[in-house]
Chains A and B, each alone.
Chain A
Amino acid sequence: MARRTREQAGGAGGGTRLRALLLGGMVLLAFSAVIARAAKVQLFDVSRLSRLARDQTRREIEWAPRRGKILDRNGMPLAVTEDVESIFADPTAFETPAERGHAADLLSKALRVPREKILKKLEGDKQFSWVQRRLDEDASARVHALGVDRLDGIELVREPKRFYPQRELAGQVLGFVGEEAGQEGLERELEPFLRGKSVQVAAVRDARGTMVMEGGAPDPTMLTGATITTTLDANVQLTAERELRRAVTDARAAGGWAIVMDAQSGALLALANAPEFDANKPGRDPGVWRNRAVQDQIEPGSTIKSFLMAIAFEEKVTTSTENFFCELGSWRQFGRTIHDTHPIGNATPTEILSHSSNICAAKIGLRLGAKRLLDGLHSFGFGERCDVGIPGEGRGQMHDAAHIANIAVATTAFGQGMSATGLQTVMAMGAIANGGVLLKPYLVEKIVSADGATLRTGGREEVRRVIRSETAKTVTAMLEEVTQKGGTGTKAALADFRVAGKTGTAQKVDPVHGGYTQKNLASFLGFVPADAPRLVILVTVDEPEVHRMGGEAAAPAWSAIAKEALRQLGVSPSPRHEEAQNQGATAGHASKLAQLEKRSAR
């Protein structure tokens, strides 16, 4: 014992061991207290604390949907969605008025917006304020060049923006997209397909606000809307718009519209309106958004005579050899005088059409009577919507057969006292072109969802048979004469193709005072090639001042559109047409041959 404690013999006091034990005990007690505290926090307060912890880290992020594309029939993009920059401000981040003013100066310069307007958006107590959303490329470039994005309190985010890469091409057909949804045209009609879905993603947020997604970003196909392939052909549409614009300018007209339809299927290849509308800059004037070819209900005028003839032949109230007396241009009947622009005496139905005699059309209409005339026109689709899939489509108005005055029967026969949309007349002419069947027009070839599933397809859809094919052939032959020498529509003729069609010159109804104004609508409606119809085309010029007649104002544009559209579709001149110019005698035989060839080509 003594040896072991050689250094500190008697050093430690009596209480040292006890005090050491006491100290050790106290330290261990303190550790126990900490463990008890941990137990309280982790085992008893746990539900409250863990909820609080989860609340501050867990977030649901909503991923914005991405709008689907709209394409033409060949896949050329007509409407696409791209990410562009938006600017927002945190007004509370500016520490001095000078700082705010500096930011306003730069923003005003970059965005080319008055300084006061910007300044208003940078003031206030809220922490978020949009300065400008969806900048165009130039503004974005200026913002970066001026260093606006580096200012405190100014932030940039990327937001999807709708672009129409072909600019005003088919503007009224496509419509445009507002803050929330499609506002007009296909954008509005097909909103449920185009919109896409927003996706909620569970995410963990760290204290700096950076979101860490547990399952990664959502698959883009979950967000993206369907791709719409339209029946429009961008090239045909471009031609239609160009020629229509030229016709409108030449005639010093207010506007116009043109429709190009596939005669055999009802697919719309072009739907043009003048003046054009660029959906990239929709503006605030609903007038320019209007797709007048489909929405405007106007008196169709003389083009209706084609259908009158078809009904008359179908009902066998006349023959192609019968002679009508056209009263030399003026016929007083039921207390009203009906005039012809080209006064003639005796005329066969063919001549009535080619000279567009109102008087003889009235006589045929009266011979048919109200019921057969109106039923016939109804059968051709007048007075009912085509349901082409454009919002606000017009229906057109017709007299009721039971309560129609005789004079109204007479005027309806040449296209007055009733109204129709441009599209309705195209569809009715389509029935003559394809051998007697009224088709339903369509604009959407197919809708394919982002994951590749086909949601809808468009195709030929028959509404009803309107006339027998023999009647259609007879009327086609008569309509061909309109573009021949002596007809009203010679300017619609093409060198390489036979054209069947009808001019129309309708006086516009005065919407305020009733009666007719001095303004009119000049149109040409027809199809080509007449022997194997591929296209039905309508060109209407609204309120022309120089060339007031349909054959003058609309027919040249019609032939230009037809020529280019046939070229685009690769339709070669029919052999029959070439032969016909050489030897007219074998026409009937060759026509059959052409049809046979066509059938075998399919």
Chain B
Amino acid sequence: MSARAAGLRATARARASGDESRSSSALRFDPALLAAVLLLTTFGVVMVYSASAVFASEKLHDTFWFFKRQALGAIGGLAALFAALKLGYKRLEKLATPLLLTAVVLLILVQVPGLGHAAGGARRWLSLGGFTFQPSELAKLAFVIWLARSLAKKGERVQSFSVGLAPHLLMLGLFAALLLVEPDFGTTVVLALMTFALLFVAGAQLSWLFGIGLAALPVAGFLIWRSPYRLQRVMTFLDPWKDARGHGYQTVESLLGFGAGGAFGVGLGESHQKLFFLPAAHTDFILSIVGEELGFIGVATVLCLFGLLVWRGMRAAHAATDAFGCYLALGLTLLISFEALVNAGMALALLPTKGMALPFFSYGMTSMVVTLFLCGVLLSISGGPGGFLKRAEGGRR
């Protein structure tokens, strides 16, 4: 509380001084945002341990196997976070194009046999030394930086189709194609949603966005129809109980986990669902374990922490002095929150199942490092005195 108060005071002082260039200013970020990030990270690492311990001791004879890696990811991620905070988001603007190119190259490389590494029917991993790495995580980051920069550069011209809309949609199309080859439908959907949201905020004409949205529906429909497992997932989503032992298994087991937890949960570490009933208990369905062990209170806490992150993320967008910072803050916030929403919606049978990690919670070192790096960038934006949106506001008046 006192940290937050101090932070607010610091921000206020920074504003009052009116000198955002003064680098010696005590706190150049939003402490509430950092608190939300740290709480989510800690909570997430603990839950990975709880959800994976039995599986890890059975499969790998080391109860802490996943925990140790996730903790290492968190430490690396925090280093990335503070590095991003120290360096400031503005340096990223220059890196936008190289990052984008790197991401595209890596997404292609992942398809090269021998380099790409497949698991669970998807080619999503690159092996580098002993480490495996998910290029799609980098792709999200590169894409959002590029999009923010591009939107910032285009300014008012975003309203035009050829300059404002077409290039972004084409780039989205390229990324979507590369991601769908893996296949990584979830990341594709999140990127698309984020792109549309940013185009919307940046001032793209609503009629165009609606039109493209409508046009995209048959494409998505076709993609679902063509892939038997996606179709199956949609059918299952409509009635998971119909085939509770078959295709509805994950969804039903996930719901059973939530149900078993009730209001207050069965206690941390006491989950029965993780005894191999719930596949991917420590990855995609970790929220179900939270629900079982810590109950509705636990789930609501997780979602509220994400809500806090969204609020403070939006506030960071507000604090941005420039359009790039504003769009970047929005994009990063939306990226994390869409992932969380899709994951939670899937675990609670609001959405069809798809491979989608819950940021901060699902096991995965790449995801952890990248997520925390994104948060570092967001934090570096949050320390600004504001300007871009205020200017917009002022212009309106």
Q: Which residues of A contact B (CB under 8 A)?
A: 1, 4-5, 7-17, 19-21, 23-24, 27-28, 30-35, 37-39, 41-43, 45-46, 48-50, 52-54, 56-57, 204-208, 212
Contacts and interface: CB of A to CB of B under 8 A. Distances in A.
Contacts, number: 183
B321 A5 contact: yes
A16 B330 contact: no
B389 to A, nearest CB: 5
Interface stretch (B1-9, B66-74, B79-87, B269-277): B269-277
Given A10-B395, A23-B201, A31-B337, A207 B258 contact: no
Interface in B252-295: 255-263, 272-273, 275-277, 291-292, 295
Nearest to A19: B201
Contact of A11 (B258, B259, B306, B323): B323
B341 interface: yes
B203 A8 contact: no
B260 A35 contact: no
Contact of B259 (A10, A19, A24, A41): A41
Contacts of B340: 31
B110 interface: no
Nearest to A48: B259
Contact of A50 (B201, B260, B341, B348): B260
B310 A24 contact: yes
Nearest to A26: B197
Contacts of B200: 19, 23
Contacts of B324: 7
B173 interface: no
Interface stretch (B33-41, B224-232, B296-304, B363-371): B296-304
B259 A17 contact: no
A27 B337 contact: yes
A53 B272 contact: yes
Given A42-B261, A43-B296, 16 more contacts: A4-B321, A4-B385, A5-B321, A10-B395, A20-B330, A27-B341, A28-B311, A31-B304, A32-B307, A33-B350, A41-B291, A42-B295, A43-B263, A46-B263, A48-B259, A49-B256
B306 A31 contact: yes
Contacts of B385: 4
A510 to B, nearest CB: 71
A30 B336 CA distance: 13
Contacts of A35: 299-300, 303-304
Most chain B CB within 10 A, of A7, A10, A11, A23, is at: A11
B254 to A, nearest CB: 10
Given A12-B389, A34-B341, A50 B395 contact: no
Contacts of B345: 34, 37
Contacts of B326: 12, 20
Contacts of A38: 258, 291, 296, 299-300, 303, 344, 348
Interface string B309-353: 011001001100111101000100110011011001100101000
The 8 A-B residue pairs with the shortest CB-CB distance, nearest first, are A49-B259, A12-B392, A206-B275, A53-B260, A42-B296, A53-B256, A13-B203, A207-B276
A279 B391 CA distance: 101
Nearest to A49: B259
A440 B156 CA distance: 116
Contacts of A11: 152, 155-156, 323, 388, 391
